[in-house]
């Protein structure tokens, strides 16, 4: 929950100062953590508008999005 809150707070600050938030997301256990905790954190932090986010998926495997090892694919599910 603390990580999700930190992301939401950073997003709100970035959106307020520059109009967008840029974040790189890795895979692994972070996928499940954010899926569980980020929605609540976003509701609690005004201004952390996900529509203003630029998201990059950090995937060192260079596999297609539909591959089981794809970071993008993990978040998309």
List the one residue out of 27, 28, 36 whose CA is nearest residue 3: 36
Query: Does 77 score more than 80 pLDDT?
Result: no
Q: What tens digit of pLDDT does each residue of 9-35 get?
A: 999 999 999 999 999 999 888 999 999
Residue 28's pLDDT is 87
Q: What is the pLDDT of residue 1?
A: 93
Residue-range domain boundaries for the chain? 1-75
This prediction's pTM: 0.84
Q: Are the C-beta atoms of 15 and 52 separated by less than 8 Å?
A: yes
């Amino acid at each position: 929950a603390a990580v999700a809150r930190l992301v939401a707070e950073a997003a709100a600050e970035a959106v307020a100062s520059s109009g967008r938030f840029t974040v790189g997301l890795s895979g692994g256990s972070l996928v499940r953590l954010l899926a569980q905790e980020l929605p609540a954190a976003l509701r609690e932090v005004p201004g952390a508008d996900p529509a203003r986010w630029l998201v990059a998926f950090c995937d060192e495997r260079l596999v297609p999005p539909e591959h089981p090892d794809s970071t993008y694919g993990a978040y998309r599910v």
